[in-house]
Amino acid sequence: MTPILPKATQPTTTQPKTKLPGTPPLAGATRALPPIETMVRATLERDASYEGTFFLGVTTTGIFCRPGCPARTPRRENMVFFPLAEEAMIAGFRACRRCHPLEPRGATPDWLRSLLEEIEQNPDQRFKDGDLRTRGLVPERVRRWFQAQHGMTFHAYQRARRLGRALGEIQNGGDLLGSAFESGFDSASGFAEALSKLAGVTPGEARQSTTVVVDRILSPLGPMIAAATDDALHLLEFANRRMLETQFLRVVRATKGVLVPGSNAIIDQVRRELDAYYSGKLRTFVVPCAMPGTEFQEAVWNELRQIPYGETRSYAELARAVERPTAIRAVGRTNGDNRLAIIVPCHRVVGADGSLTGYGGGLWRKQRLLEIEGARTPPPAAGATSKKS
């Protein structure tokens, strides 16, 4: 397949196809590109929400980037678009060193990996700026990465991990003060203050609280956020969804829990199942899930899980299936309240005319998910043509 070019000469340099590291490829490798004007606009606006949709090649530099790259925006006549990173490489483009298009968005960079491994091995250890410098790391760079990926500074992330460990000990019957000191807090008051800021509970209340661990899961369509207790998955959302904070609050209320960074067997399982799903090897998720709601909400969510892989239903059909044929709008709102993206497949619900409507993760993601499942074919790229090479 040749790339789409607005007004540019195709590069002639080629190199062997390379298997890329990271997340599994989308099922059905080669796919159509969005309309060219859409890609140009996304490039000019550095719109990272188009992650996974296309890659941009710059003919004057021979470099290719992901959408939203912070590098200087090229002139339109020098833009070349590819559906896959592999195809950009085959056309002779090199990966950008600023946005790292060969890595899944949000992947841990090589320069930071050893530090995170140290934290995992010893979460009670506290790294100060001087400790980072002795490891050849720039504290400001570390802080920016954690702020972008976790919504908190590196030092706040360390406190949250230590706090999560202390909570686990307290909930297993451990002494409050002993758990605080063993987890690296200098005083009981420091522990209480950190717990109040992160979880909104006192140390005494923490004994009755449920720990809900929160972790990122990388995917070909962008990072996802998972939240789980030890026995069930409570949330799975794309990281850039606007309702994410609201969904977290609902999980906290439903579980009477506190959210802490970390992972567990449930999140590990959903990560494996998502990898298989995106690769086209899994049709039914079996990870234990919990998503309490009203009687109507639970009826709609249960019916969503009955829609077969590779098929779609209209909102009206879904309303009739839950015996509320006039509640089409309520069905749409309940779809939007779904906290388990992909697993509870609200992406399989379309308009009466088959059009794509109402998906919190973005309509382009809804299109891609239906393409993976074979329920929809890629649309032709408007305003441009591509030909077989």
Tell me phi and psi for residue 56, to 5 degrees: -105, 125
CA distance 84 to 87: 5
Looking at residue 12, its pLDDT comes to 31
Number of Cβ atoms within 10 Å of the Cβ of 74: 20
Q: What pLDDT, on the 0 to 100 scale, is given for residue 215?
A: 84
Report the pLDDT value the prediction gives residue 229, as an integer from 0 to 100.
92
Q: Within this chain, do residues 30 and 143 fall inside the same structural domain, yes or no?
A: no
Closest residue by Cα to residue 368 from 29, 18, 23? 29
Residues 89 and 142 in one domain: no
Tell the burial category of 251 from Cβ atoms under 10 Å away from its Cβ (0-12, 13-18, 19+). buried
Global pTM value? 0.59
Confidence at residue 313, expressed as pLDDT on a 0 to 100 scale: 94
Could you say which of 103, 134, 165 is where a domain stops? 103
Average confidence (pLDDT) per 10 residues, the chain, 389 residues: 42 33 44 80 84 85 88 88 80 84 72 82 79 88 78 74 58 44 44 51 58 84 88 90 82 82 90 93 95 94 95 94 93 93 95 86 86 73 36
* Number of separate domains in the chain: 3
* Domain contains 384: no
Q: 117 in a domain, yes or no? A: yes
Residues 149, 206: one domain? Answer: yes
CATH code: domain of residue 63: 3.40.10.10
HEC per residue, 138-163: CHHHHHHHHHHHHCCCHHHHHHHHHH
* 79 in the same domain as 49: yes
Task: Looking at the structure, tell me whether residues 94 and 159 fall in a common domain.
Answer: no
Residues paired with 166 in a beta bridge: none
pLDDT of residue 8: 36
Report which of 1, 68, 76, 77 is spatially closest to residue 33, judged by C-alpha positions. Answer: 1
Give the residue among 72, 70, 141, 359 at the shortest CA–CA distance from 243: 359
The torsion angles phi and psi of 65, rounded to 5 degrees, stand at: -135, 165
- 56: containing domain: 1-103
94 and 121 belong to one structural domain: no
- The answer to whether the CB of 53 falls within 8 A of the CB of 67 is yes
Q: What is the pLDDT of residue 222?
A: 80
Q: Judge residue 238's burial from the number of C-beta atoms within 10 Å of its C-beta, 0-12 exposed, 13-18 middle, 19 or more buried.
A: buried
69 & 211 share domain: no
> Cα separation of 72 and 75, whole Å?
10
> Domain with 179 in it: what CATH number?
1.10.10.60
Q: Please give the structure tokens belonging to residue 43.
A: 């490039």
Please list the active-site residues. 346
Asked whether residue 64 is assigned to any structural domain, the reply reads yes
Q: Please report the pLDDT score of residue 185 as a whole number.
A: 43
**84 and 175 fall within a common domain:** no
- Tell me, yes or no, whether 159 and 229 share the same domain: yes
